[in-house]
Amino acid sequence: MDGSAESLRGYLEYLRDLGIYDVYRTSDPSDDPALAAWWKSVATPVTASAPATPQRPANSGSPSPQRPAAPVQRPAPTPTPQRPPMPSSNRAPDIVITPPTAAAAPHAYDFDQAPAPTGQLAPPAMPLVSFNNLAPLPTERVAPANKLAALQSVRDTIGDCTRCPLAYAGRHNIVFADGDPNAELMFVGEGPGADEDASGTPFVGKAGQLLNNMINAMGLKREHVYIANVVKCRPPQNRTPEPKEANTCSPFLLQQVDIVQPKVIVALGATAATYLLGVKQSLANLRGQWHDVRGAKCAVTYHPAFLLRDPRQKGEAWKDLQRVMVELGLKPPARS
């Protein structure tokens, strides 16, 4: 292959890399001015007098001695051995490509007629275990004077926790709890949101403000109750915690419940109820009755974030809280 052919091949590969294939259809290079100019440059026969390589400008110093051109001896090309023609009986049969029929076309697949899958395609769902079955009930109550230290010990155990994927999902703070270690009433939510993640305190955003109002309506102050979540790190985009995350974090909440030992626990929303009770049921099924969680009476009501989205349900939530108030002997503050 001489230099012109090599240059032509390189140019065509260059065009192909650019996604230009039409050059092959150009019967005359003059159709493309750029190609024509290039073609003219490479198609010009190299005359014997034309220099084969670019000349360096003359050096202003003493001239370099000219080396005489040594004749290049090339070996004679070896002839390519010719294969004898294959007998027709030994030739592979011609490949015949048959266009797909309508029945075999993918769009003709009838999903209604698909056979039922056999075998286990998805891993089994993580089993739900109620807090009552997670661990035996404590045999001794923590003395009121020791509850703060006991809770701090749980917090120390959590440390800079990386036990579940939420540790790597962009959390800023582990949100442990807030409130009175000797509270008779405990609220359990789902997990921290953006405000809680930033501050390290549960229920401080808009939903937290509504929860404060709910607590005040019961005749209590936030400092009188204990507030915690099922998971202590913020799930990304405030999504519902995955079972793996909730199950990994639940033992910490269980210890908090066992130390505080409230009389009443209010599960805020379906996720809190699901993991506290170990059942997956609708909120409508779970509300309006008492459940048992670690010796405490547990009521289920709407999460404040849900009430912000659907304020019409505030009346229903108030009914739930009134049942709690009766249980704790609370009276709503007198209206001024």
Q: Which residues bind ligand SF4 (CB under 6 A)?
A: 158, 161-164, 166-167, 174, 231-233, 245, 248-249
Give the shortest CB-284-to-ligand SF4 separation in angstroms. 28
Residue 118 CB, nearest approach to ligand SF4 (Å) = 36
Q: What is the smallest separation between the CB atom of 129 and ligand SF4, expressed in angstroms?
A: 16
Nearer to ligand SF4, 177 or 317 (CB): 177
Quote helix, strand, coil % in the chain, to nearest 5.
45, 5, 50
Minimal distance in Å, beta carbon 304 to ligand SF4? 20
Tokens of 285: 């099924």
Angstrom distances, CA of residue 273 to CA of 156, 276, 293, 296, 303: 26, 5, 10, 14, 10
End-to-end CA distance of the chain: 103
Instruction: Tell me how far, at minimum, the Cβ of 214 lies from ligand SF4, in Å.
Output: 25
Q: Are 224 and 263 in contact (CB under 8 A)?
A: no
Of the two residues 184 and 196, which places its CB atom closer to ligand SF4 in the complex?
196
- Per DSSP (E only), the strands in the chain are 178-179, 185-189, 226-229, 264-268, 291-293, 296-301
Secondary structure (3-state) at 300: strand
Looking at the Cβ atoms of 247 and 261, the one nearer to ligand SF4 is: 247
Torsion of CA 297, 301, 305, 308, to 10 degrees: -140
Whichever of 10 and 236 has its CB closer to ligand SF4, that residue is 236
Q: Give the three-class secondary structure for 296.
A: strand
CB of 142 to ligand SF4, least distance (A): 21
Shortest Cβ distance from residue 228 to ligand SF4 (Å)? 11
Residue closer to ligand SF4, measured from CB, 151 or 218: 151
Nearer to ligand SF4, 8 or 161 (CB): 161
For 191-308, strand residue ranges (E) read 226-229, 264-268, 291-293, 296-301
Q: How far is the CB of 325 from ligand SF4 (least distance, A)?
A: 31
* DSSP state letters, 49-93: TS-SSPPPPPPSSSPPPPPPPPPPPPPPPPPPPPPPPPPGGGSPP
Task: Pick between residue 187 and residue 252 the one whose CB is nearest to ligand SF4.
Answer: 252
Integer Cα distance of 287 and 142 in angstroms: 30
Do residues 260 and 181 touch, judged by C-beta distance below 8 A?
A: yes
C-beta closer to ligand SF4: residue 164 or 267: 164
